[in-house]
Structure 1
Amino acid sequence: MTSSFGPRRIVCLTEEPTEWLYLLGEESRIVGISGYTVRPRRARDEKPRVSAFLDGKIDKIVALEPELVIGFSDMQAVLADKLIRAGLNVWITNQRSVEEIFGTLRMMASLVGANDKAEAWITACRGRHAQIAAAASAWKRRPRVYFEEWDSPMISAIQWVSELIGIAGGDDVFPELAVQRMGRDRVIQDAMEPARRAPDVIVGSWCGKKFRPEHVRARDGWQDVPAVRLDRLHEIKSCDILQPGPAALTDGLEQLHRLFADWNDHP
């Protein structure tokens, strides 16, 4: 049962607060969601879609009379500014690492008085992370992994994805870019650099559009990349790994681990 503590009417501008509030049993507080929301699937049937990622239906959001609007990323600054100027309370987070994701989940749970449920979920999630890391530690070798968040320009893995690659049993080939908090600072300037780093596995998650492995295979000079030569090009949908919330910490990590375990079993 939803408590009376905290904001009773919440608009979620991205998917991860929606998924988290549903997991906490606090979904009745949600009065509007992002049009990109697919987790949980039933949210699309139950809640009005009032925003994209970079913009939203300001009049419609205001009409919902939210007590709080929750979003993610500096990229939503313009949208947040419009909503603030419309007189709404807006909370934008900028979590980038696995630990920051856990911290943000805790803060959100505290806002709605669901601390106990949140701690139980986080404890179980951390336990699963430890199991996966322990299983991967028994492997004789770890795959070198190139994670591509966007193809033109090429953008490598954000920090939490790079960290999840490590937990799952792989090594990110662009660790120096992963620590850069802004997407523009993770752009790969030299199109041949990923090929030179010889990844064993390539994972594409092109921010909502379908990953095209045939386009990667056709890149000039990439034919001898181990991942290309051995057809180790895979997609993980952005909703499963590029949302800094429950999905990435569970399904995203599990998918990475399965890919790396398969590579380890069938080199």
Structure 2
Amino acid sequence: MNVVTTLPSATEIVAALGLEPVGVSHECDYPPRVESRPSITRSRIDADASSDEIDRQVLDAATGGVYDIDTETLAELDPDLVVTQGMCDVCAVDEVVVEDAIEEIPTDPDLLTTDPHSVADVLSDITRIGRATNREERARTLRAELEARIARLREHTVDLTDEERPRVAVFDWTDPVMVAGHWTAELVSWAGGEYGLADPGERSRPREWDEIRDYDPECIVVAPCGFDLGQTAANLSDLTERDGWADLTAVREGRVWAMDGNHYLNRPGPRLVDTLEALAPIVQPDLFDGSDEPPAGDEFTIPLAELERRSTTAAELDARMES
């Protein structure tokens, strides 16, 4: 079966089911082998720009759309199934754009649209994609494995009292400041925290900085959508130079972390469970400090102070090289 995916999370699900997509989006980079696959999408946004500039570009592109589809390449791939999304027309190409592109090619592939706003939705998407690709047994196995990992972790946090749960804020954009929505509230709760700035399933949206200060988070995770740790470091001043940043409890107590928002938090596929396992030792370090528990940090997660240090060191080295 020729499967084309138009967003990274769909690519990861298809790959986890034992299939190799014949075409992917320009953003698909995991598993690493998919980067060699033909890309059928293009972005009109400079993804390397600053957070505020990207926000302006997205607003300017609202009329014409953020993404284009290479219909010639799509036709050459002769797809039987195209997996797309209807959740966010900024994060990935929208289903309407995909529908229009399919009408322009000679083949008539099936179209499967994902629209996840919770972990349960993501698990359901695994089942749906498994059914559509004749990988139902593998989908059941994968879903059971993910559910078992979630259940094992939640055993540590389910009985925590409200007083034992720190106030957590997760930012998935820094200028403007946006509080992560959708599945994030569930992940934080399962990890042992209180997520008072958004309800489960609520979409991410800009927040007034005073609202953040009033909430006074005890633990902060900075995970801008689409940013790796390097790009997050380059935009940290969006937060650190705001009035009252240094007075936040999380900052004063050194409980601020950076997370690769591209690979972890903002990709609704199997690795959302990896995100949960990375969040748990951040939110509840006393519960998750054993050798058999998820480590407090990995290649996609780092204390913000360490990220700032590395960023400063890199900038100093660049300056020396230029001089």
Q: Which TM-score bucket, shorter chain as reference?
A: 0.7 to 0.9
Answer yes or no: is the 8 Å Cα contact 2:166–2:193 preserved in 1.
yes
Structure showing the higher helix proportion among its residues: 1
Are 1:110 and 2:103 an aligned pair? no
* Alignment partner of 1:36 is 2:27: yes
CA distance in 2 between counterparts of 1:124 and 1:26 reads 18
2:78 maps to 1:65: yes
Structure 1 residue aligned with 2:185: 162
**Is the contact made by 1:139 and 1:264 (CA closer than 8 Å) also made in structure 2?**
no
User: How many Å separate the matches in 1 of 2:140 and 2:232?
Assistant: 35
- Shift of the 215–151 alpha-carbon distance from structure 1 to 2, 3 Å rule, reads closer
- Cα drift, residue 206 of structure 1: 0.9
Give 5+ residue unaligned stretches, structure 2: 44-66, 290-323
Q: Report whether the alignment pairs 1:15 with 2:8.
A: yes
| Match in the other structure for 2:97 | 79
Distance 1:199 1:263, change over 3 A: farther
2-structure distance, mates of 1:215, 1:264: 32
- Output the TM-score relative to the length of structure 1: 0.85
| Aligned residue runs from structure 1 range 138-177, under 5 A | 141-176=164-199
Q: Distance in 1 between matches of 2:187 and 2:42?
A: 26
* Structure 1 residues 73 and 263, CA gap change in structure 2 (3 angstroms): farther
CA-CA distance at 1:23 after TM superposition? 1.5
Tell whether the 8 Å contact from 2:281 to 2:288 is kept in structure 1 after alignment.
Answer: no
Aligned match of 2:201: 179
How many Å separate the matches in 1 of 2:256 and 2:86?
28
| Separation in 2, partners of 1:155, 1:222 | 15
| Distance in 2 separating the partners of 1:20 and 1:77 | 18
Does residue 120 in structure 1 map to residue 110 in structure 2?
no
Q: 1:102 and 1:166 mapped to 2: Cα distance?
A: 18
Report the CA distance shift for 1:175/1:133 in structure 2 as closer, same or farther (over 3 A). same
Q: Which range moved further: 72-81 or 94-103?
A: 72-81
Corresponding residue to 1:91 among 104, 112, 123: 112
User: Which has the bigger relative contact order, CA under 8 A and spacing at least 6?
Assistant: 1
| Distance apart, 1:58 and its partner CA | 2.3
Q: Secondary structure at the match of 2:170?
A: strand
SS at match of 1:63: helix
Report the CA distance between 1:11 and its aligned residue: 0.9
Q: 2:156 aligns with which of 135, 138, 144?
A: 135
Question: In the aligned structure 2, how far is the partner of 1:92 from the partner of 1:152?
Answer: 30
Query: Does the alignment pair 1:245 with 2:269?
Result: yes
Q: Contact 2:156 / 2:287 at 8 angstroms: preserved in 1?
A: no
Aligned 8 A contact 2:85 2:95 in 1: no
Cα pair 1:143 1:263 within 8 Å, conserved = no
From 25, 47, 72, give the equivalent of 2:18.
25
Consecutive unaligned residues of structure 1, counting only runs of 5 or more, are 1-7
1:112 CA drift (Å): 1.4
Deviations 1:215-241 (A, max 9, x none): 422211222111121222212212212
Structure 1 counterpart of 2:206, which letter?
V
Change (3 A) 1:34 1:246: same
Whole-Å separation in 1 of the counterparts to 2:32 and 2:288 = 34
CA distance in 1, matches of 2:213, 2:287: 21
Q: Give distance in 1, aligned partners of 2:212 and 2:286.
A: 19
Count of residues in correspondence between the two structures: 250
Amino acid paired to 1:246: P
Shift of 1:52: 4.2
Partner of 2:4: helix, strand, or coil? Answer: strand
Closer, same or farther: CA 223–168 of 1 in aligned 2, 3 Å = same
2:318 maps to which residue?
none
Query: Which of the residues 249, 254, 278 maps onto 1:231?
Result: 254
The answer (yes or no) to whether the contact 1:19–1:40 under 8 Å persists in 2 is yes
**CA gap 1:195/1:12 in 2 versus in 1, 3 angstroms:** same
Q: What is the rounded CA distance, in whole Å, between the counterparts of 1:205 and 1:72 in structure 2? A: 21
The 2-side partners of 1:162 and 1:55 are apart by 32
